[in-house]
Amino acid sequence: MPTLPQRVVPRAVADPDVRLSYAVDASVTRTASPTDFEVVRARDVDDVVAVLEHAQATRTPVVPQGARTSRAGGARASEGCIVLNVEALDAIHDVDELEGYAVVGPGVVNADLKRAAASAGLFYGPDPASWETCTIGGNVATNAGGLCCVKYGVTSDWVKALQVALPGGELMRTGHRTAKGVAGYDLTGLFVGSEGTLGVVTEAVLRLEPAPDAALTALAVFDSLDAAVAGIVALRRDAHRPCLLEIIDRSSVLAIQSFGDFGFPDDCAAVLLVQSDRPGHVAEDVARYAALLASAGAVDVAVADDAQESEALLAGRRVMSTAFEAMGARLAEDVCVPIGRLADFVRGVEAIAERRSVLIPVSGHAGDGNLHPSIVHDPSDADSVDRAWQAFGDVMELGLSVGGTITGEHGVGSVKLPWLGLELGPAELARQRRLKAVFDPLEIMNPGKVFAVEA
């Protein structure tokens, strides 16, 4: 077992079964969990510093960890590592209404920050579907997105400044609390999305905005994929961008309906969900969105009149993840493509599903072109597992071939690592490794995530 500094010995998880539960996240991998690792549940920044000082001195790998909802295998333990879980650093230190920011610990749950901001009449944008569980530290480390990114952007659009503990234990501050600030390089931007490979986020200063109105929803049913994409394009061109624009394809609709009756027709090609939260104009916007979707070819459009109806229209979307999981194990893709290539991408995924004989429901954040094909397979059947992983690679390669990226919001983690070079090319990959070495010269931060461990 790796050794620990005296200060954090009382924070180490002693029970082997509990320790094992910290070795995994919400991703599916083919790699067995490690047997030789420690888990430290830090209580404060000094605990984090102590672990990073010790880890550097002993060349021990460190896996920073939040709520373990990673879909990319980013928070998984590796052999001989110290898992450094920071969920307990969950204080909201300040909500500054005048300056429009919150100062929070990395363990604050996304939804708790949203509620704290709302009680001050303010709003924090990023809303991963895991928002009731995932932490701000994890969101910063993955540059998390969510359902409302089409209007409000991703986590990087909301991070003003960070405190980061570096390997060796030095605490570093990046960014500015002021409304503007361009002194020096944008190291905040470098740390956002760095997936725990550079240091541990110990505090974040996050932008808050005036709260929008409560959103209303419209749901449109299409009998052709092209018409659904025409609907997405029409909504993207509207002068007032929706705050949510999600697509559910035919296979996803069937998965949801086999889980429970959420009112979707079994024979449709796709369903779009759209929302407005524009202050003073919500009902007017959703009525206009409904008309645009009908003009694009929707065969049926339902518009909510109040919050309860809005939630009812979203109910099928909310159970989707559980519905997929009820069908088997699931490899979660996260490809982001140009809006204009959405139909090509979805058709390409259908072809891959047929070629590899696997089920691949496609859903996701259509307004951003960020789709989550879910490769459903039988984990007890080696052949099914092989075909699923082949399809996993095919989908990312398809995404790249239409001008997209292998990951829009989940990160590379460990599961997409073999495809990063395909997207970046050898020169960029090498440059990024050199950049990592500036902060982490001994490569102790989250090894085997984003970049392969070099022999």
What part of residues 420-449 is at the interface with ligand FAD (CB under 6 A)?
Answer: 446, 449
60 sits near ligand FAD (criterion: CB under 6 A): no
- Nearest residue (beta carbon) to ligand FAD: 138
Which span sits near ligand FAD by CB under 6 A: 139-147, 218-226, 302-310, 384-392? 139-147
Shortest CB 322 distance to ligand FAD, Å: 8
Binding mask 190-229 for ligand FAD (x = CB under 6 A): -----xx---xx----------------------------
374 sits near ligand FAD (criterion: CB under 6 A): no
167 sits near ligand FAD (criterion: CB under 6 A): no
Shortest CB 445 distance to ligand FAD, Å: 8
| Contact with ligand FAD (CB under 6 A) among 22, 23, 28, 69 | 69
256 sits near ligand FAD (criterion: CB under 6 A): no
| Cβ atoms 158, 165 nearer than 8 A | no
The residue count for binding ligand FAD (CB under 6 A) is: 37
Burial of 13 (0-12, 13-18, 19+ CB in 10 A): middle
Shortest CB 166 distance to ligand FAD, Å: 11
70 sits near ligand FAD (criterion: CB under 6 A): yes
414 sits near ligand FAD (criterion: CB under 6 A): no
Binding mask 12-31 for ligand FAD (x = CB under 6 A): -------------xx-----
Task: Please count the CA atoms within 13 angstroms of the CA of 18 that sit on its side-chain side.
Answer: 8
252 sits near ligand FAD (criterion: CB under 6 A): no
75 sits near ligand FAD (criterion: CB under 6 A): yes
What part of residues 272-331 is at the interface with ligand FAD (CB under 6 A)?
Answer: 321
Shortest CB 196 distance to ligand FAD, Å: 3
125 sits near ligand FAD (criterion: CB under 6 A): no
65 sits near ligand FAD (criterion: CB under 6 A): yes
For Cα atoms 341, 450, 447, give the angle at the middle one, nearest 5 degrees: 170
Which span sits near ligand FAD by CB under 6 A: 66-74, 179-187, 213-221, 394-402? 66-74
Which span sits near ligand FAD by CB under 6 A: 10-18, 32-40, 144-152, 355-363? 144-152
| Contact with ligand FAD (CB under 6 A) among 86, 248, 349, 415 | 86
CB atoms within 10 A of CB 437: 11
| Contact with ligand FAD (CB under 6 A) among 5, 61, 125, 128 | 128
| Contact with ligand FAD (CB under 6 A) among 22, 41, 61, 64 | 64
| Contact with ligand FAD (CB under 6 A) among 4, 62, 67, 206 | 67
Which structure tokens are listed for 110? 């996304």
The residues pairing with 374 across neighbouring beta strands, listed in sequence order, are 332
Which span sits near ligand FAD by CB under 6 A: 111-119, 131-139, 309-317, 435-443? 131-139
| Cβ atoms 48, 84 nearer than 8 A | yes
Shortest CB 77 distance to ligand FAD, Å: 10
How many angstroms separate the CA atoms of 115 and 166, rounded?
Answer: 31
371 sits near ligand FAD (criterion: CB under 6 A): no
Least Cα distance to 392 among 26, 28, 23 occurs for: 28
Residues of the shown chain interacting with ligand FAD in the complex, contacts defined by CB under 6 A: 25-26, 63-71, 74-75, 86, 106, 128-130, 134-135, 137-139, 141-142, 144-146, 195-196, 200-201, 321, 409-410, 446, 449
